[in-house]
Structure 1
Amino acid sequence: MDRFIMRVLVFFFLCMFFIIACDPKEVPMPDEDFELEAPSYFGSYNERIPEDNPITQKGFELGRMLFYEKKLSGDNSMSCASCHQQSKAFTDGKAISPGIDGINGKVSTMSLVNLLWAEKFTWNGKMETVEAQSTEPIRNPIEMHENFENAIQKLEEAGYSRLFQEAFESEEITEELIGKALSQFQRALVSSNSKYDQYLRGEYEPTQSERRGEQLFFTHPIPGQLRGGNCGDCHLGPLTSGAIDGFQGFHNNGLDDDDNMDEGLMAVTGNPADKGRFKTPSLRNIALTAPYMHDGRFETLEEVIEHYDNGIHQSSTLDILIIEGSNENQASGDQPQLFLTEQEKDDIIAFLHMLTDEDFINNPQFSNPFEDDENN
């Protein structure tokens, strides 16, 4: 009997060992790629994802947490999401945003949308990759004002090492891996279910005003022959951005004259011909991202349209697409004007509202994972 009991006990412990050893919670499993949903008319994107930083489910989840993590700021009061709020298409509704020390920056917060198809980042294009742009605000003394040694220590104390192990197979938290995780989350911020997208898919019938607005938006005017709003010359294709086929557009859109304009791209290239030229942003969700322009000078879309219609300032670097864009014949040297009718202005704005994607700004995958904790 003793021998029988001993065999039963041995068998029991062997079974327990086998169960524990095979517990999926204890066995590292390879991460699955994150499934991006993007329409074909946006263009291919696989080649735009760095080989050393593919988007994985664990990487995306870690990036989302870091995006909303206030411990990355010097006083634990700000996160990336402080200036990039989902409800405002990842902008903040301010002309210029202050950092943790109350110091204002120099430019308006750009929307984080469809970055997979963008080239160069920030208004003057100084950042070549999403990874570089993701970490720069953390150390920036005007923004989050934290050094990475302190930030990493705080993340380690908060238990993030396990999450980095799951995402990158390394418990060591580094600046590079923080940038990679943040980039995975941001590259997944795809907005593609606006009324305009539904229209392109044959799922929405635009109003007459929206149809006219679309035609005006994408039409370069030819005086006496073709009326247009001249918008699509810079805001290209369904993405309505300035990036196409590996080229990022930078334009001087007549905000100021030579004596008063900001440097723009010139701050990066040092070329005087680039003075006043800024990155052309996507207009996706534009109705949610006021105020407008790199310095947030226009509060409404109506003000923006008025600027392009009759508020252009002459300068030595004014974009040729604006100089040549008019619905009436103009003499050389005249102030460029579109000469839009009030109805045409309303129609263009109606089309711009078609670019609002309610699913994007309400997608729980992109929301604050700490929201419940912060509300308690």
Structure 2
Amino acid sequence: MPEPKPVARGGRRKLRASVGAALLAALCASGAATSASSPAPSPAASPAPRVAERIALGRELFFESRLSGDGSRSCASCHAPDKGYADGEALSRGYNHAGHFRNTPSLIALAAKPRLMWDGRYPAERLADVVVDMIRSPVTMNGDLQIVVERVRQLPSLLQAWQRAYGAREAPSIDGLVDALAAYASSRGNAQTPVDRALHGDEQALSAAALEGMRLFQGKAGCARCHSGAAFTDGGLHRLGVPENPEILRDPERTISLLRHYAVHGARDPMSERADTGAAAWTQRAADRGRFATPSLRGVALTAPYMHNGVFATLAQVVEFYDRGGGRASELQPLGLDARERAALVAFLEALSPPLPPESAPPTDNYATTGAGR
């Protein structure tokens, strides 16, 4: 793609000021921005004490494969820190490595997202329900929460982390474990991005290409109409006409996971569906067929492939799709961007990713046993 034209120093400063002000206004327009001076998200506030200790316990649980039914999968199996808290696959894999029909959503800036899951079926305040579903679902971890509690009681490192978080008098409980996992997940990827630094006055944070992309994002390309607020999402449901991923119907496991999804949500004829209907599966409204929740753009450069079914491998492909006006029955309109403008938008999107410090699984230990006479 052609390189963006260089911007003179004085013009560059004016461009930063005008575009930054426009973008900041767009970020705050939805009411989702944390504040006019600090658009970066922060972990959700909690009335529970010992927040750092709860996050530390959540980290131990996040990497603990014994939360799953057969001890083979942890939360990090799909939400790997070195892959932007996603898995780097077009379509995720679940319990026993079985194929699934959707892309793994990233946990980056989870605290700022107004809706959860690709079809938007959970509002943000129901994060605990998502945690419960992911542990219990036979498609994901196939765990039993009461058994998980017993395992925590018998694993010395987890029991010690629990006592630091909730006190020695508080016995391990389902609510506490879910709360700790939610606290940890909400704390991921909240560091400032280059775009945040630019909005705070750092004139060196963005390249000329990213600055041009910022202007297009707010203006000609119209991205900010849906990608607004602290997490760069309006939390709405939209139909873009994203093409189906043919792998879903080629792989029997993925097909079965799709049909099971419809059966669980009460579809009238779940066995007849051969496409991902998006929000319509849970709203039961024909008007929502093909509508999916607007994803956050924070960390987007770290979480390829893209869209609900991972059908696009690169950000350039995503921008080209939007430039064409999306796919069949799309709400989008063609943008008329040239190659330089598309490249500039990609540069801006790449500047929306925070630094992620290296993170590895904590050491695990064996179950404690009670000897004779104890």
Q: Report the TM-score, using the length of structure 1 for normalisation.
A: 0.73
Instruction: Report the CA distance shift for 1:356/1:58 in structure 2 as closer, same or farther (over 3 A).
Output: same
**Structure 1 counterpart of 2:99, from 98, 101, 104:** 104
Indicate the residue corresponding to 2:370 in structure 1. Answer: none
Task: Quote the Cα distance in structure 2 between the aligned partners of 1:233 and 1:267.
Answer: 26
Distance 1:151 1:176, change over 3 A: same
Kept after mapping to 2: 8 A contact 1:161/1:171 = no
Distance 1:164 1:149 in 2: 16
8 Å CA contact retained: 1:125, 1:268: no
How far the C-alpha of 1:156 sits from its partner, in A, is 1.6
Q: Deviations over 1:54-103 (max 9, x none)?
A: 67121111011111111101222211111111122211100112123221
Q: Where in structure 2 are there 5+ consecutive unaligned residues?
A: 1-33, 245-272, 366-374
**Is 1:254 aligned with 2:249?**
no
- C-alpha contact (below 8 Å) 1:125/1:279 kept by paired residues: yes
Structure 1 residues 301, 54: closer, same or farther in 2, change over 3 A?
farther
Does 2:316 align with 1:302?
yes
Q: In the alignment, does 2:112 pair up with 1:123?
A: no
Q: What is the distance in 2 between the residues matched to 1:275 and 1:368?
A: 40
The structural deviation recorded for 1:126 is 2.2
1:292 aligns with 2:290: no
Q: Which has the larger radius of gyration?
A: 1
Please tell me the residue identity of whatever aligns with 1:345. R
Query: Does the 8 A contact of 2:112 with 2:230 survive in 1?
Result: no
AA in 2 matched with 1:63:
G
Could you give the per-residue CA deviations for residues 98-132 of structure 1, whole angstroms, max 9, x where no partner exists?
12322112211111122222223111122341111
CA RMSD of superposed structures (Å):
2.5
| 1:83 aligns with one of 78, 90, 102 | 78
Measure the CA separation in 2 of the matches of 1:295 and 1:256.
Answer: 9
Change in CA separation of 1:371 and 1:283 when aligned onto 2, cut-off 3 Å = farther
Give the CA deviation at 1:344: 0.5
Looking at structure 1, the residues matched to 274 and 236 of structure 2 have their Cα atoms a distance apart, in angstroms, of 22
Could you say which residue in structure 2 is the equivalent of 1:223? none
Residue 277 (str. 1) matches residue 291 (str. 2)? yes
**Secondary structure at 1:278's aligned position in 2?**
strand
- Name the CA distance, whole Å, in 2 between partners of 1:163 and 1:118: 28
The Cα of 1:192 is off from its aligned counterpart by 3.2
Partner of 2:51: 56
Alignment of 1:190-339 (within 5 A): 190-205=189-204, 206-219=206-219, 228-242=220-234, 248-256=235-243, 262-310=276-324, 312-315=326-329, 318-319=330-331, 322=332, 336-339=333-336
The one-letter code of the counterpart of 1:236 is S
Structure 1 contact 235–282 (Cα < 8 Å) conserved: yes
In structure 1, list runs of 5 or more residues that go unmatched: 1-37, 220-227, 243-247, 323-335
| 4+ residue runs over 6 A deviation | 43-46
Q: Percent identity?
A: 31
